[in-house]
Amino acid sequence: MSNQAKLELDGKSYTLPVVIGTEDEKAVDVSALRADTGYITLDEGYGNTGACKSKITFIDGEKGILRYRGISIEELAEKSSFVETAYLIIYGHLPTSAELQKFSDLLTSNQNLHEDMKYHFEGFPSSSHPMAILSAMINAASCFYPDLMQGDRSHFDEHAARLISQVRTIAAFSYRKSVGKPIIYPKNGYKFTANFLHMLFSDPYDDYEIKPEVARALDLIFLLHADHEQNCSTSTVRMVASSQANLYASCSAGVCALWGPLHGGANQAVVEMLQQIHASGDDGSKFIAAAKDKASGKRLMGFGHRVYKNHDPRAKIIKKSCDEVLRSLKIDDPLLNIAVKLEEVALRDSYFVERKLYPNVDFYSGIIMRALGIPVEMFTVLFAIGRMPGWIANYKEIADDPKGRICRPRQVYVGQSLNSYVPMSTRK
C-alpha cells in the first residue's frame, strides 16, 4: 500500500502524504496542497472529502458495516440500551456499573428544564413544527448556564447529560403544546425511554400504561440513531463547534441540519409518501415509476444513502423490530404492506440496483413510531433525541483537540468578474 500520492500539475510533480485509518480507509492528505501548488480540491457535496479523523464510529458502506467505538450495531442492538450506548459513544468505552449508575443519575438529576424555559413554549404558535421548537429551545437552554458563555468546559459531563435528558423533555413538551395538552413533568423512577413515553402520553391524573415492548422498541430506535459518523447534521455540529461555540449552540445547529427531508426528515417523508400511495389506490408501482423519472421531482423516500451502497444494517434491525412490534400490538398497518411491496419491487428494479439504492434507516422506523402512537411531525424529533450522543461525542472530539482549527472550506468562484456600480438612473 502506498504511503504517498504523486501529483503532476503545470509540469511540476508533488508528493502528497497518504493517511490510513485503523480499518484501512485511505486518504490523500491535501492540507498543504494550496500552499504548495496554488490549487485547491473541489468536491461539491463532500462525497470524497474526509473532514476529520475520528475515533467514534466506523462505517463500511460497501459491506453494510456500522460500529460504535468498534462494537457492531447488531451486537449493541441485541445487548445494550440507549443510555449505555450513549455513554459508550461519548466516553469511548462501555461503562462499568458504577460509571453507568453515575451517568444515569446525572441524566435524572438534569431532566427538568429550568422553570423559566416554560414561558418560551407559550410564545410558539401551536401549529409550530416541533423541530423548530427543539432547535430554538436547545439554544435557549444555554442562556441558563453562564459557564458555557465563558467557554468554561469543566462541567462538560453535566452539560452532556443535561442535553441528552432535556432534549427528550423539550420534545415531549413541544408535542403537548402542539396538541393543546398540559405539560407532563418527568418522573424520577422511570428509565430514559419509558419517561419519554410518560411525558408524551400521560395526563395529569391518569398515567399512561407503559408496555415494556413499546419502551424497548423506542429505545432501540434511539440506539440505532445514536451516531453515524460525518453525516450532514454531525458535520454541522462539528463546523459550529470548531468556532468554539458552546455545546448547546452546536447541537441546536445539528437539529436544524437534521430537519430536512433528505436527512432526518426522511422518516416523516416516508410515512407521508406511504399515506399518499395508500390514499391514491396505487399498489406502489406508479410511485416507483415516478421516483425513477427525474422530471417528476419524486424520490422513493427511505431509499438510498450517500455511504451505504449495500443494505443499511440499521434498516435490517428496524424491519425485524417493526414486524415484532406490530405483531405484539396486534396492529395490521396497510402502510407496512405497501412498504414491503415497494422494497421488493425496488430491489429487483434495474434503476435501483444499478444505483445501489437500498432501504435506509428511515424506511421502516416511521411505521414503528406510528404503531407506537407517535404523531408523524414528531418522527424527526425522535431521530434528534437518538442522535444527541453522537453530536455530543463529535463536539467533544473537536473541543478536546489541542490542534483544532476552525472549519472553513474554500470555494471556486464562478461569478461576475470585476464590475462597476451603475447609478439607478442609467440601469436597464
- Contact with ligand ACO (CB under 6 A): which of 301, 367, 372, 393? 301
| Listed ranges 13-21, 148-156, 161-169, 260-268: which one lies at the site for ligand ACO (CB under 6 A) | 260-268
317 near ligand ACO (CB under 6 A): no
360 near ligand ACO (CB under 6 A): yes
Q: Which residues, in sequence order, are CB contacts of 34 under 8 Å at separation 6+?
A: 40, 410
| Listed ranges 181-189, 247-255, 295-303, 409-417: which one lies at the site for ligand ACO (CB under 6 A) | 295-303
- For residues 252 and 135, the answer to whether their CB atoms sit within 8 Å is yes
The three cell numbers locating residue 80: 445494550
Assess whether 362 carries a catalytic annotation: yes
246 near ligand ACO (CB under 6 A): no
313 near ligand ACO (CB under 6 A): no
Task: For 70-114, give the secondary structure using H, E and C.
Answer: CEEHHHHHHHCCHHHHHHHHHHCCCCCHHHHHHHHHHHHHCCCCC
The three cell numbers locating residue 305: 444513502
| Listed ranges 127-135, 208-216, 354-362, 393-401: which one lies at the site for ligand ACO (CB under 6 A) | 354-362
Q: Which residues, in sequence order, are CB contacts of 323 under 8 Å at separation 6+?
A: none
Give the shortest CB-357-to-ligand ACO separation in angstroms: 5
User: How many chain residues are in contact with ligand ACO, going by CB under 6 A?
Assistant: 20
309 near ligand ACO (CB under 6 A): no
Give the shortest CB-309-to-ligand ACO separation in angstroms: 10
User: Mapping DSSP to helix (H, G, I), strand (E, B) and coil, where does residue 291 land?
Assistant: helix
Q: Of the residues 159, 227, 305, 349, which is catalytic?
A: 305
Whose CA is closest to 229, among 57, 60, 392? 57
Assess whether 305 carries a catalytic annotation: yes
The three cell numbers locating residue 374: 407517535
Give the shortest CB-66-to-ligand ACO separation in angstroms: 12
Q: How far is CA 311 from the centre of its chain?
A: 18
The three cell numbers locating residue 406: 476552525
Active site residues: 305, 362
Given the rule CB under 6 A, which residues bind ligand ACO? 45, 231, 262-264, 266, 291, 299-306, 355, 357, 360-362
